């Protein structure tokens, strides 16, 4: 009986945690609308380093939430947790470095 009660609590808490993760992902997606408007000049798109960096960083936050919470990496062994964190870092560094190097060359 006690085991069933614990299982139910765990199940409810997992369900809630997954829902909160989804809510956060949607909230971060909606933030993009604000960022987008801040960069536009009367309907014409304008270049913006701040918007580009924010877009990449917010995407990385979302990728990590998806991996940790929805793909259940938080319950995975340390090697997978570290490997996925390393992947997020590699993606971020690669994208931002390419952007800044490209700008410097241009």
Partner 1 sequence: MATATDTTDTSPDERVPGETGMWFFVLFESLIFTSYFCVYLYFRTQDEGAFLEAQSALRLPLGIVDTIVLLTSSWAIARSVQEARAGRPAAARRLAFVTIGLGAAFSALKLVEWAHLIGDGHTFTSSDFMQHYFFLTGMHAVHLLIGLVALGILVHQLADPHRRSQETIETCATYWHTVDLYWVLIFAVLYIVR
Considering the complex, state which of residue 2 and residue 62 has its C-beta at the smaller distance from partner 1: 62
Look up residue 5 and give its DSSP letter: H
Q: Which is nearer to partner 1, 2 or 58 (CB)?
A: 58
> What are residue 44's DSSP bridge partners?
41
Q: Can you tell me the distance from the alpha carbon of 88 to that of 67, in angstroms, rounded to the nearest whole number? A: 10
Give contact residues for partner 1 (rule: CB under 8 A): 7, 11, 14-15, 18-19, 21-22, 25-26, 29-30, 32-33, 35-36, 39, 43-48, 51-52, 55-56, 58-59, 62-63, 66-67, 69-73, 75-78, 80, 83-84, 87, 90-91, 94-95, 98-99, 101-103, 105-106
């Amino acid at each position: 009986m006690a085991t069933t009660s614990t299982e139910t609590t765990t199940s409810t808490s997992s369900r809630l945690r997954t829902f909160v993760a989804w809510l956060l992902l949607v909230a971060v997606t909606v933030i993009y609308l604000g960022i987008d408007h801040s960069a536009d000049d009367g309907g014409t798109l304008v270049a913006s380093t701040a918007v580009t960096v924010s877009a990449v960083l917010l995407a990385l936050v979302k990728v990590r939430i998806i991996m940790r919470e929805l793909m259940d990496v938080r319950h995975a062994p340390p090697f997978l947790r570290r490997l996925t964190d390393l992947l997020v870092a590699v993606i971020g560094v690669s994208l931002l470095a390419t952007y800044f190097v490209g700008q410097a060359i241009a």
